[in-house]
Structure 1
Amino acid sequence: MIVIEAKKLTKRYGNGKGVQELNLAVNKGEIFGFIGPNGAGKSTTIRMLLQLIAPTAGELSILGTRIGGDHPELRARIGYLPSEIRLFPDMTGKQALEFAAAVHGIELANSPAARYVERLQLDTKQKIKSYSLGNRKKLGILLSIVHNPDLLILDEPTSGLDPLMQQEFYDMLRELNERHGTTIFFSTHVLTEVEKLCDRVAIIREGRLIRVSTLEEIAADGGHRIEAMFREPGDKRDEYGIRAIDPGAIYENGHHIFHVGSSLNDVLKLLSEKQVHELNIRKPTLEERFMDEYRKPQQQPQDRSVN
């Protein structure tokens, strides 16, 4: 089953920014990463998924229902954690959770949120106005899963959490995904989170989707990252033929940084003929691959949904 399906989904604003012809398919049970810098179109896409704004053009289906008009029954099956949490300040954490559970017609004691309060180390007896940023984020996490949603949409979910709570949060998401089959749409610019959690990732740039891949596919086609420092000083990218290997090669503080695909042996032969002072060869990280994608010239999107 496809939980999220977008075909040429477009949202235009007066300033020209937004989302342009986005083709996307997220399968049931996936943890799907949606990555890009601020202003790339991540939040606009999420607002359309939540039916908070209407698309200018294109088609969108959520949980098998074609979006057109208002569908409150769909929102009842979706959990959402916004990047910034705004809650009733004079409620206690427990009152907020009980209120959210009642809206969905369930008892808090029977909610997944009840199982995670202690693990997140949240004092629900305190009023929300006394909570730190981290505690407000913890409460937001619990509110997003109080009704055991079929689809959980997370927008920059770990901002404000300390490293220990971030790890606890990752464990929670894996449990929800594995035990309940929750589909998770994870929007972030923190790429280490994507590497830890996601099955597939989509990269969005200036409102256009430029790639959808598994992490294994990204790692496989990343080739190798080479960092070389030569005994002879200065920028040797042209003189040593490094630009011919990688037109996007970088020179920084004496270091020549470039990427190669299947021609590693040829590159090693070339380097063996030079006076190399330092040499480091490794597989690129997801962040480095992400930056590579952003350095490429912008291309037109595909005319089909990506499964």
Structure 2
Amino acid sequence: MPAQHQDVWYRPMSDIPITEPRWVRMVEIRPTNEQGRKIIHHSVAYLVLNNDPEAVNTGTATGPNPLDNVDDLVNRRPMLMEWAIGKGYDLFRPGTGKLLLPGEKISWDQHTHAVGEEVVAGSEIGIWFYPKGQEPTKRSYLIGFTGIDRAKMLDIPPNSMAMTEGFTVLKENTVIENFQPHFHLRGKAMQVEAILPDGSRQVLSYVDKFNFNWMTNYIYADDAAPVVPKGTVIHVSAWHDNTKGNKDNPDPDQWVGYGDRTVDEMAHAWMNVLYLTDDEYKALVAERKSKTAKATQDQQQ
């Protein structure tokens, strides 16, 4: 990337060197060198499938607005992993993962931006497989839960704060494995809330001091991973700071709208999810309640 340049999206293809189906336990993407961390905004490893329709997510919907179909289409495109500045890895809980088949490829989407000095770097990926013979019972799907209503889009006037929100319906009983907020330079805070079918609400995660240089991936402990029934609405609230008080803000006098460039803004929560049958959901909820009751009893003794 030259010292001065418009943002660039690099989209090559990579072969996956396997000769038999393999289940993935963990994935890590990172820049090829330390300098690359300055210029690589994100690097997404999409999967080009080889006759594997179950790898396509069909468990979410963003609503009847035709513009919302953009989010649905993105979430149906199979992803092995998304990396953004400061992220570590995706670790799938035991008995779950992503299936790779021979002949499949990685379709990269690497976004870079100029930083005032020439930097040469790319992305590399590490994949940890389950031992041969171990086959997880559940697939993990990576979903970008939107924090923006595309009918209203995003409007951040100069020297001001703004709040946006987005809603996504879960069509299946769901376990949420992690939470990774994604903004650009004006991101300030994000909250993910579950609106349950009975109308009650549960705050799942909240980050109040977002740092563009550290897009941390918060992986829930097994007993803490949210479990919600089908029909739940995931409500993402996002706050944006376009003032001089935001040390990452390149120009508080500039109007900011939605866009893919680093100087534009967006908001979504990357979360890996698992889908459960009704019986599996009931069993897991009962198991959680039993553990909670036992822990409470032990504390009282």
Q: Same fold (TM over 0.5)?
A: no
TM range (shorter): under 0.3
Q: Which has the higher helix share?
A: 1
Give the structure-1-normalised TM-score: 0.20
Which has the larger Rg? 1
Give the structure-2-normalised TM-score: 0.20
Q: Which has the higher strand share?
A: 2
